[in-house]
Structure 1
Amino acid sequence: MEIRVIETKENKLLGRKEIYFEVIHEGEPTPSRRDVKGKLVAMLDLNPETTVIQYI
Protein backbone atom coordinates (compact mmCIF):
# COMPACT_ATOMS: atom_id res chain seq x y z
CA MET A 1 0.00 0.00 0.00
CA GLU A 2 1.28 3.41 -0.97
CA ILE A 3 -0.15 6.76 0.12
CA ARG A 4 0.32 9.81 -2.07
CA VAL A 5 -0.56 13.24 -0.60
CA ILE A 6 -2.42 15.34 -3.17
CA GLU A 7 -3.13 18.52 -1.22
CA THR A 8 -2.74 19.96 2.28
CA LYS A 9 -4.85 22.90 3.47
CA GLU A 10 -4.87 24.84 6.74
CA ASN A 11 -8.42 25.36 8.00
CA LYS A 12 -7.88 28.24 10.41
CA LEU A 13 -11.59 28.63 11.17
CA LEU A 14 -11.74 25.12 12.65
CA GLY A 15 -8.10 25.04 13.76
CA ARG A 16 -7.12 21.97 11.80
CA LYS A 17 -5.15 20.72 8.83
CA GLU A 18 -7.00 18.97 5.99
CA ILE A 19 -5.03 16.46 3.95
CA TYR A 20 -6.28 15.04 0.66
CA PHE A 21 -4.54 11.85 -0.41
CA GLU A 22 -4.90 8.75 -2.54
CA VAL A 23 -4.16 5.17 -1.57
CA ILE A 24 -2.59 2.91 -4.17
CA HIS A 25 -3.06 -0.79 -3.43
CA GLU A 26 -2.71 -2.61 -6.75
CA GLY A 27 -3.05 -6.36 -6.42
CA GLU A 28 -4.00 -6.07 -2.75
CA PRO A 29 -7.42 -6.02 -1.05
CA THR A 30 -8.91 -2.67 -0.10
CA PRO A 31 -7.08 -1.50 3.05
CA SER A 32 -9.06 -0.82 6.21
CA ARG A 33 -9.41 2.66 7.67
CA ARG A 34 -7.20 1.52 10.56
CA ASP A 35 -4.39 0.50 8.17
CA VAL A 36 -4.65 3.74 6.17
CA LYS A 37 -4.73 5.86 9.32
CA GLY A 38 -1.72 4.03 10.79
CA LYS A 39 0.37 4.54 7.68
CA LEU A 40 -0.70 8.19 7.29
CA VAL A 41 0.06 8.96 10.95
CA ALA A 42 3.52 7.41 10.64
CA MET A 43 4.23 9.07 7.30
CA LEU A 44 3.25 12.63 8.37
CA ASP A 45 4.14 12.38 12.09
CA LEU A 46 0.57 13.08 13.25
CA ASN A 47 -1.17 12.42 16.54
CA PRO A 48 -3.34 9.29 16.07
CA GLU A 49 -5.86 10.48 18.67
CA THR A 50 -6.65 13.64 16.69
CA THR A 51 -6.50 12.14 13.20
CA VAL A 52 -9.82 11.34 11.50
CA ILE A 53 -10.40 9.81 8.07
CA GLN A 54 -13.75 11.10 6.83
CA TYR A 55 -13.98 9.49 3.40
CA ILE A 56 -12.37 6.61 1.54
Structure 2
Amino acid sequence: MRCIHEQGVPMTEETETVAKPSLKVEEIRENPLLNRREVLFTVFHEGAGTPDRWIIKKTIAELLGVPVEHVIVKSLTTRARAWKTRGHAHVYDSKEELIKVEPRHLYIRNLPPEERAEALKALRGEKKGG
Protein backbone atom coordinates (compact mmCIF):
# COMPACT_ATOMS: atom_id res chain seq x y z
CA MET A 1 0.00 0.00 0.00
CA ARG A 2 1.30 3.45 -0.92
CA CYS A 3 0.25 6.70 0.68
CA ILE A 4 0.84 10.18 -0.67
CA HIS A 5 2.82 12.69 1.39
CA GLU A 6 1.50 16.28 1.71
CA GLN A 7 3.82 17.54 -1.05
CA GLY A 8 2.67 14.81 -3.42
CA VAL A 9 5.74 12.58 -3.09
CA PRO A 10 4.87 8.86 -2.94
CA MET A 11 5.97 7.53 0.46
CA THR A 12 7.79 4.26 -0.15
CA GLU A 13 10.73 2.67 1.58
CA GLU A 14 13.10 4.38 -0.87
CA THR A 15 11.70 7.93 -0.45
CA GLU A 16 11.23 7.91 3.32
CA THR A 17 14.92 8.64 3.80
CA VAL A 18 15.59 12.30 3.08
CA ALA A 19 18.70 13.22 1.11
CA LYS A 20 21.38 14.89 3.24
CA PRO A 21 21.68 18.62 2.49
CA SER A 22 24.73 19.67 0.50
CA LEU A 23 26.35 23.09 0.28
CA LYS A 24 28.05 24.60 -2.76
CA VAL A 25 30.13 27.78 -2.47
CA GLU A 26 29.30 29.97 -5.48
CA GLU A 27 31.61 32.94 -4.87
CA ILE A 28 34.07 34.26 -2.29
CA ARG A 29 34.90 37.98 -2.25
CA GLU A 30 37.67 39.50 -0.14
CA ASN A 31 36.81 42.63 1.86
CA PRO A 32 40.11 43.81 3.39
CA LEU A 33 38.55 46.98 4.80
CA LEU A 34 36.44 44.93 7.25
CA ASN A 35 38.89 41.98 7.55
CA ARG A 36 36.41 39.48 6.14
CA ARG A 37 35.47 37.28 3.21
CA GLU A 38 31.95 37.44 1.82
CA VAL A 39 30.64 34.03 0.75
CA LEU A 40 27.70 33.40 -1.59
CA PHE A 41 26.45 29.82 -1.42
CA THR A 42 23.63 27.44 -2.36
CA VAL A 43 22.26 24.69 -0.12
CA PHE A 44 20.48 21.76 -1.81
CA HIS A 45 18.03 20.09 0.59
CA GLU A 46 15.75 17.88 -1.49
CA GLY A 47 12.85 16.46 0.48
CA ALA A 48 13.51 18.56 3.59
CA GLY A 49 12.99 22.06 4.91
CA THR A 50 15.65 24.75 4.98
CA PRO A 51 18.55 23.63 7.22
CA ASP A 52 19.19 25.54 10.45
CA ARG A 53 21.65 28.47 10.29
CA TRP A 54 23.89 26.71 12.81
CA ILE A 55 24.29 23.67 10.53
CA ILE A 56 25.04 25.89 7.53
CA LYS A 57 27.50 27.94 9.60
CA LYS A 58 29.38 24.79 10.71
CA THR A 59 29.52 23.50 7.13
CA ILE A 60 30.95 26.78 5.78
CA ALA A 61 33.55 26.88 8.56
CA GLU A 62 34.53 23.29 7.77
CA LEU A 63 34.78 23.95 4.01
CA LEU A 64 36.92 27.07 4.45
CA GLY A 65 39.01 25.69 7.32
CA VAL A 66 38.19 28.45 9.81
CA PRO A 67 36.82 28.37 13.38
CA VAL A 68 33.02 28.31 13.50
CA GLU A 69 33.05 31.46 15.72
CA HIS A 70 34.42 33.49 12.77
CA VAL A 71 31.43 32.76 10.49
CA ILE A 72 28.04 34.50 10.44
CA VAL A 73 25.18 33.59 8.09
CA LYS A 74 23.68 36.91 6.96
CA SER A 75 20.73 35.78 4.85
CA LEU A 76 18.94 32.70 3.52
CA THR A 77 16.38 32.78 0.69
CA THR A 78 14.34 29.75 -0.32
CA ARG A 79 11.90 29.81 -3.21
CA ALA A 80 8.66 27.88 -2.85
CA ARG A 81 8.98 24.17 -3.76
CA ALA A 82 12.56 24.64 -4.96
CA TRP A 83 14.53 22.45 -2.46
CA LYS A 84 17.33 24.98 -2.89
CA THR A 85 18.35 27.88 -0.66
CA ARG A 86 20.67 30.71 -1.66
CA GLY A 87 22.61 32.40 1.10
CA HIS A 88 25.17 35.00 2.05
CA ALA A 89 27.71 34.64 4.87
CA HIS A 90 30.65 36.62 6.22
CA VAL A 91 33.87 34.97 7.40
CA TYR A 92 35.95 37.23 9.67
CA ASP A 93 39.62 37.05 10.57
CA SER A 94 38.70 37.07 14.29
CA LYS A 95 35.66 36.75 16.54
CA GLU A 96 36.33 40.26 17.88
CA GLU A 97 36.00 41.74 14.36
CA LEU A 98 32.71 39.86 13.88
CA ILE A 99 31.26 41.19 17.15
CA LYS A 100 32.45 44.73 16.37
CA VAL A 101 30.88 44.85 12.87
CA GLU A 102 27.77 42.64 12.87
CA PRO A 103 24.45 43.54 14.58
CA ARG A 104 23.76 41.77 17.88
CA HIS A 105 20.51 40.16 16.66
CA LEU A 106 22.39 38.43 13.80
CA TYR A 107 25.08 37.23 16.20
CA ILE A 108 22.39 35.72 18.47
CA ARG A 109 20.56 34.18 15.50
CA ASN A 110 23.78 32.36 14.52
CA LEU A 111 24.43 30.80 17.94
CA PRO A 112 23.91 27.06 18.61
CA PRO A 113 20.28 26.34 19.63
CA GLU A 114 21.08 25.91 23.36
CA GLU A 115 23.13 29.11 23.59
CA ARG A 116 20.61 31.01 21.46
CA ALA A 117 17.80 30.34 23.98
CA GLU A 118 19.98 31.58 26.87
CA ALA A 119 21.10 34.69 24.96
CA LEU A 120 17.50 35.58 24.05
CA LYS A 121 16.42 35.14 27.67
CA ALA A 122 19.25 37.43 28.83
CA LEU A 123 18.42 40.00 26.14
CA ARG A 124 14.73 40.05 27.15
CA GLY A 125 15.72 40.51 30.81
CA GLU A 126 18.01 43.36 29.78
CA LYS A 127 15.16 45.11 27.91
CA LYS A 128 12.74 44.76 30.86
CA GLY A 129 15.28 46.11 33.34
CA GLY A 130 16.44 49.06 31.27
Report which of the two has the higher share of helix. 2
Aligned to 1:28: 48
Shift >2 Å, 4+ stretches: none
Aligned-residue Cα RMSD (Å) equals 0.9
Find the aligned partners of 2:52 and 2:39 in 1 and give their Cα distance: 18
Structure 1 stretches lacking a partner, 5+ long:
none
TM value normalised by structure 2: 0.41
Structure 2 stretches lacking a partner, 5+ long:
1-20, 77-130
Task: Determine which of 36, 39, 53 is the counterpart of 1:16.
Answer: 36
- SS across alignment from 2:72: coil
Find the aligned partners of 1:18 and 1:45 in 2 and give their Cα distance: 15
More RCO (CA 8 Å, sep 6+): 1
Q: Percent identity?
A: 34
Aligned length: 56
How far does the alpha carbon of each residue in 1:10-45 deviate from its partner, in whole angstroms, 9 at most, with x for none? 001111111110111011221000111111111221
- SS across alignment from 1:55: strand
